[in-house]
Structure 1
Amino acid sequence: MASILQAWLDQCADDFREPPEYVCLQKVLSYLKKNMPGSDPEKRAQNLLEQFQKEEWENDDAFHSLSPCTPDEEEELEISGPEEFSLSQEDLVAEQLTYMDATLFQNVVPHHCLGCIWSRRDKKENKQLAQSIRATTSQFNAVTNCVLSTILESKELKTQPRAKILEKWIRIGRQCRILNNFSSLKAIVSALQSTSVYRRKKTRACVPKDTMLMFEELCEIFSDCDNFATSRELLLKGVTQGTVPYLGTFLTDLVMLDTALQDYLEGGLINFEKRRREFEVIAQIKLLQSSCNSYCVTGDEKFVQWFRRQRH
């Protein structure tokens, strides 16, 4: 038992990453304290628990503990309205979105993506299930809402300035593509393809043709042709450098696998083909999580404050 638990804790630590309570890890630790006090597995389990709690605290501090801006502080922010946003640097915005996305993606617990877990998230008793994946989903929605609010919120904004903001987001999307941040890129593309933006024909007509061609190229990345072959190919090419995927593709794959294949075959035998195919997807997620260590971007508090203030 000591050898098995030591190997599990060392080689598959992410299996125990279940914030905020870490129930499975607490059970293992309790068992070790009772049956193997002072052993190496007990020390490893205790260190792992402290490590996870520290990482959770650091992430909360980075993203959720920012104090609301006072009116004076709002004036100090570099981006305060639609027109100021149109003058902001595309690479700065793309880098900050990538920083947030990469941090959240690295904290995703891979096995929570399995269809048997994620497909049951909406049940009343599962409100605390797969919190790390819910965080990435919330971030995706926040980026989409940020795009929509900057383009549409101001009713007094004239066509030309509004077109400048639309153009700005396309160029930010292009920067996200350069950074291999497919999560924010997908969110930006989805927002710009929405009915509320698409129906503003005069605004789109004011955007330069070369920028609109750029937008069409970005849209092609997420074409559903041949089971999203283009985006999957780009992900495989990007594993040697920092890459943040659109997690929805993996979640869809795993839910479909869970729906299509049974857990057990005739006679109660485990369906190893299903487990093998699920493992292939999970392994890709883990590989991409490791690639995020290649990013050398730090958070900008002013940008995060501005981003969090955007209305839905």
Structure 2
Amino acid sequence: SLRVVITCFLNSCKEDFCQPPRYSTLYHFIKHVPDRDLQKQGQTLLEDFKIDEETNQLNNDNNKSKTNALYNEKGFDYIQPWNILEISSTIIAEQLTIVDADLLKRVLPYECLTPSTSGCSRRTPSNNSNRTLSTIDKTIEFFNAVVARVIATILKEQDEEQRSHVIEKWIDVAHQCRKIKNFSSLTAILNGLLSGCIYRLNTAWSYVTQDYQSILEELKKVFGSCADRKEARAILDK
């Protein structure tokens, strides 16, 4: 019956109703559904969402407090940033893969049918700050963050030879991503390395060894913007 179908939908597709802070769809459902049992189920689901929202907010506040306490502690006025050259390329690739996998597992199929809004405009307090990102938007946002990090870590170095070492590092990370079949972060790294502001660093690129340049060319052939995706799919099938 229709009641059974709606009950199954409420139980198996809860995330479709999770629209904080107003939960307008769920409120509309509770208000207009004629069946009292379904109303109770909707109300219970709404209360669960609100409890989860309060818990998440409390956890965020606690994390901020702990972070501020660490900053204010004597001897910890700042956190020394990581030097990317000191971190294993394999570890970086694995960490990127963990985030990518988590984001992709959360993707809701129906959101693939609607245009993404993440790239429409810059976020400002007046327009996008309160908008809940879709699961697709979050994957795009992380992809763009990886591109930006590649560019930033290279450009922040003033010495051209040091820049070449960072370029080689990202090429190695991309190569490790290929080994573990994380094509999303691999493509993001390539986009960063091949962006205009990096690709025009002729002096820095002249210091990049031939081995790394060969690896980059191989990756471009398979995963570049003009590449034939058949080879990439063949790697996935292995």
TM-score, normalised relative to structure 2:
0.72
Q: How big is the shift at 1:61? A: 6.0
The answer to whether the 8 Å contact 1:118/1:130 transfers is: no
Residues 1:132 and 1:27: Cα distance change in structure 2 (over 3 Å): same
Residue in structure 1 matched with residue 106 of structure 2 by the alignment: 107
Match of 2:48 among 50, 62, 65: 50
2:171 maps to: 170
The aligned counterpart of 1:260 is: none
With over 3 angstroms needed to count, the CA separation of the structure-2 counterparts of 1:230 and 1:44, relative to structure 1, is: farther
* Alpha-carbon separation, structure 1, partners of 2:214 and 2:54: 42
Query: CA offset at residue 188 of structure 1?
Result: 0.5
Q: Is the 8 A contact 1:176 1:184 kept in 2?
A: yes
Q: Which residue number in structure 1 is paired with residue 136 of structure 2?
A: 133
Answer yes or no: is the 8 Å Cα contact 2:221–2:227 preserved in 1: no
Distance in 2 (alpha carbons) for counterparts of 1:132 and 1:9: 20
The correspondence of residues 233-252 of structure 1 with structure 2, limited to 5 A, is 233-234=234-235, 237=237
8 Å contact from structure 1 (residues 16, 22) kept in 2: yes
- CA-CA distance at 1:57 after TM superposition: 6.5
CA distance in 2, matches of 1:194, 1:209: 20
Residue 36 of structure 2 aligns with an amino acid whose one-letter code is M
Instruction: Please report how far the alpha carbon of residue 171 of structure 1 lies from its aligned counterpart in structure 2 after TM superposition.
Output: 0.9
Residue of structure 2 in register with 1:203 after alignment: 204
- 1:166-216 CA distance string (max 9 Å, x none): 111111112222232222111110000011111122222222222222112
2:116 alignment partner, one of 109, 118, 126: 118
Residue identity opposite 2:35 in structure 1: N
Determine if the alignment matches structure 1 residue 152 to structure 2 residue 155: yes
Q: Any idea what the Cα deviations from partners look like across 1:255-278, whole Å, max 9, x if unmatched?
A: xxxxxxxxxxxxxxxxxxxxxxxx
Show the counterpart of 2:94. 95
Q: What residue number does 1:268 align with?
A: none
Instruction: State the 1:95 CA deviation.
Output: 2.0
Matches within 5 A, 1:269-308: none
**CA spacing shift, 1:228–1:19, aligned 2, 3 Å:** farther
Deviation at 1:151?
0.6
What is the CA distance between 1:114 and its match in structure 2? 0.9
Residue 154 of structure 1: CA displacement?
2.8
Aligned AA (2:167): L
Structure 1 match to 2:76: 72
Name the CA shift for 1:228/1:53 in 2 (closer, same or farther; >3 Å): farther
Separation in 2, partners of 1:98, 1:113:
21
- Equivalent residues of 1:140, 1:183 under 8 A apart: yes
CA-CA distance at 1:2 after TM superposition: 1.0
- Residue 61 to residue 109, structure 1, CA distance change in 2 (3 Å): farther
Distance 1:161 1:72, change over 3 A: same
Q: 8 Å contact 2:222–2:228 — kept in the other structure?
A: no
SS of the residue corresponding to residue 218 of structure 1 reads helix
1-side partners of 2:234 and 2:59: how far apart? 35
Q: Which has the larger radius of gyration?
A: 2
Q: Secondary structure at the match of 1:118?
A: coil
Aligned positions, number: 223
Normalised by the length of structure 1, the TM-score is 0.57
Native 8 Å contact 1:192 1:198 kept in 2: yes
The alignment's C-alpha RMSD in Å is: 3.9
| Distance (whole Å) between structure 2 residues aligned to residue 48 and residue 176 of structure 1 | 41
Q: 1:131 to 1:3 in 2, by over 3 A?
A: same
Higher relative contact order (CA 8 A, sep 6+): 1
Change (3 A) 1:27 1:129: same
Shift of the alpha carbon at 1:12? 4.4
Quick one: which amino acid aligns to residue 72 of structure 1?
F
2:36 alignment partner in structure 1: 36
Give the match for residue 183 of structure 1. Answer: 184
Q: Which runs of 5+ in 2 are unaligned?
A: 122-126
